[in-house]
Structure 1
Amino acid sequence: MAATTPASWLGRVGQWLYTLLVDPASIWTLAILMLLAEVVLNMAIIAFVPYTEIDWQAYMDEVEGVVNGTYDYTQLKGDTGPLVYPAGFVYVFLGLYYATTYGTAIRTAQYIFAGLYLLNLLVITALYAKARMPPYLFLWLSGAAFRIHSIFVLRLFNDPIAMLCLYIALWFFLEKRWSLGSFFFSFGVGIKMNVLLYAPALLFVYLAELGVYRTFWQLAINGVLQILLAIPFLLANPMGYLARAFDLGRQFMYKWTVNWKLLSEETFLDRRFHVALLGLHICLLVVLARSWLRRVPTWDALWRGGVALTPRDTLTILFTANFVGMAVSRSLHYQFYSWYFHTIPFLLWQTHLPIWARVDGLCLHACNALGQVSLTLKDANQRAVPFVQEQAVLVPSLPLQRRLSQIDLT
């Protein structure tokens, strides 16, 4: 038997590491190691980094109104303004209200959100594994997620909970368990409307896979769940509920926007600007739809269904639709980073372009900038053009935000 030399030993270690990082079959091995590290990291963040109050108390005030018997949505409000989220939000945060001693046990809430963070990462891993993505992308999802940790365990926003429901829905869609997927998708919409950015792409996936008749039933599941969740509020004031929970024309405050600070406040608030963004969104979706239709052999296939979309095709279609929606969003805020952070490695990998490293670095740099939109952000969008051409998408202006606390996870 040949003696084991240091060179041969190092060669085997190198081969093992290469397999661990590159072979899609190894993604769960790496994911388990990273998840264990994430447990420790999240506990350390909670223990040593101060919690920052932003919206949690407002959430608690809003659901406390329901506890006190107020079901008229126009009367529900917190210290940051009126309740503007659909009914699913109320049920989720009502549960958190009681689980955290009426919203006062902040540390308990942080532990709950840490659990949600780990569950979210687990579901994302399942999506990547289903699409046979290389495991090294998981290092980005975990290692570059300091802002996501902040959004989950230090700020306790509702956005990541809505996205968790969305990602669970996507997993069920990849498993062809359509009704469960529709349930979770609708529940995600019920927590926050940004999930609707996926709706145009999901409609295409429904039609391609299921055909018109079965698509109708999936849309019915989405709609009926929204009605069931909203019944107490619809009975109290139906128009008030619809106007507040699904206010598509809601005016955002200029001081909070992080993607349009390069414009004047007058332009930002101008309805013509909003209409232009909507028109651009529709045009971009039409461009995307042309690429989606390449996967459909005939128009009749959209009527009958039966198009076998691969998991990678399905996720690409859905993730690009979300990116396009964010690119032309009327306003992006700090916590909206959670809307697309976990999709970035997937979409970058689809392009097969070496520019991904530069774009990735610029994205991270832009997200850590403070104050006004900077030249760095403009440069990031300009350099991203070659990257998005392959998928016919635009990279959204990434969130920049004022410093929300003295402690920064950078």
Structure 2
Amino acid sequence: MQEVEGFINGTWNYTELKGDTGPLVYPAGFVYIYSIFYFITSHGTNIRLAQYIFAILYLLTLMEIIYIYHKLAKAPPYVLVFMCLFSYRVHSIFILRCFNDPVAILLLYFSIIFFFNHKWSVGCLIFSFAVSVKMNILLFAPGLFLLLLEACGWMGTMKNLLICAATQVVLAIPFLYENPVGYINQSFELGRQFKYEWTVNLRFLWEDAFLHRGFHITLLVLHLSSLALFAWNKWQMKNVLKGHSSGVLSCQRIATLMFTSNFIGMCFARSLHYQFYVWYYHTLPYLLWLTTFSPVWKLLILGIIEMCWNTFPSTVLSSVTLQVCHAVLLIALWIGSAKSPPTADKDV
């Protein structure tokens, strides 16, 4: 509320938008949406109403997830019950904290529903709007790019990428006009220093190593290398680049590429904070049910990951355990995942 109050009062220079927690580091879509919340909640003072709004957003997100899992027909129904009821951390992120991460994820799943129904341009418009709320949505982008090439060809892909870019420019016009460099630096979080005490996944490192630029570059190289390996070997990128299309894409292929792409980003994130759990929480059952683990092991991994995210503050043990679970799942996806059918099921 403090960050958007400056915008409401006429300040369009992004470097001057800030609050007690620091400068505004989210793109323009965040500013517009939270400005609406600002007025609805009496300048941010009506906390109970804000929580009711986020409870509605939470229910809408669950509706999207249930629809997505129904289309995928992969994880058993009891997993959806666990997903909806048993994550204290996710409930907190939505309804107690009112973070912008849930808003971005709500829009992301909405775009995936359009992709499932082969509405690629509308889906890309919504996807880009989700990016404008928080940049983490770009972790899904490598998988989406490959899907666009496969479904739409090079010309269709360029058209949809133009839709994504135009959406960002239109939303950011007032801020780009006032201070384009400041907007780009802050909305992309360029040069942002993540605080060591906030990290969930890297508490086992000493602080100097956590902040070292060489470590950040190493994570980036591992991230890009993993994406390249999956794209070339598991997602048949070489066939896509040659123009070989399998026809209308299946829901399972769309979810596999986008969810795995995001998960790889989570594995090599420079730092994960507690609100980041919603970035991949709802995708974990699907990813686990792509592997050859037994149901007991799949549920055990889900439970351990949940336990790690509920440990506050994070400890050496919780962060090591979380990273081990990530590594186990990533390796399992590499060596043992069931191949998704490329073409759509008849009921789509």
* Same structural fold, with TM-score higher than 0.5 when normalized by the shorter chain: yes
SS of the residue aligned with 1:350?
coil
Equivalent-residue separation in structure 1 for 2:178 and 2:82 (angstroms): 47
How do 1:309-388 residues align onto structure 2 when only pairs under 5 Å count?
A: 309-354=249-294, 355-379=297-321, 381-382=323-324, 385=327, 387-388=329-330
How far residue 197 of structure 1 moved from its aligned partner, in angstroms, is 0.4
Q: Return 5+ residue gaps in structure 1 as ranges.
A: 1-59, 394-410
Change (3 A) 1:372 1:130: closer
Look up the equivalent residue of 2:55 and give its one-letter code. A
1:2-401 aligned at under 5 Å gives the runs: 60-133=1-74, 134-294=76-236, 297=239, 299-301=241-243, 305=245, 307-354=247-294, 355-379=297-321, 381-382=323-324, 385=327, 387-392=329-334
Q: Is the 8 A contact 1:83 1:244 kept in 2?
A: yes
Confirm or deny: 8 A CA contact 1:260 1:331 kept in the other structure: yes
Query: What is the aligned-residue RMSD (CA, Å)?
Result: 1.8
Please give the alpha-carbon distance, in whole angstroms, between the structure 2 residues aligned to 1:353 and 1:149: 28
Q: Residue 387 and residue 263 in structure 1: after superposition, are their counterparts in 2 closer, same or farther (change >3 A)?
A: closer
C-alpha deviation, 1:363, in angstroms? 1.3
- The count of corresponding residues between Structure 1 and Structure 2 is 332
**Partner letter of residue 124 of structure 1?**
I
Q: Tell me if the contact between 1:120 and 1:164 (Cα under 8 Å) persists in the aligned partners.
A: yes
Cα displacement string for residues 218-237 of structure 1 (whole angstroms, at most 9, x for unaligned residues): 00010000000001111111
Change (3 A) 1:143 1:212: same
Preserved contact between residue 204 and residue 320 of structure 2 (Cα < 8 Å): no
Does the aligned pair in 1 maintain the 2:149–2:240 contact within 8 Å? no
Change beyond 3 A, Cα 1:245–1:212: same
What is the CA-CA distance between 1:387 and the residue it aligns to?
Answer: 4.0
More relative contact order, 1 or 2 (CA 8 Å, 6+ apart):
2
Structure 2 contact 29–132 (Cα < 8 Å) conserved: yes
Give SS of 1:309's match: coil
Paired-residue identity, %: 45
Instruction: Determine helix, strand or coil for the equivalent of 1:69.
Output: coil
Distance 1:384 1:195 in 2: 19
Confirm or deny: 8 A CA contact 2:200 2:309 kept in the other structure.
no
Question: TM-score normalised to the size of structure 1?
Answer: 0.77
Residue 109 of structure 1 aligns with an amino acid whose one-letter code is: A
Using the size of structure 2 for normalisation, the TM-score is: 0.90
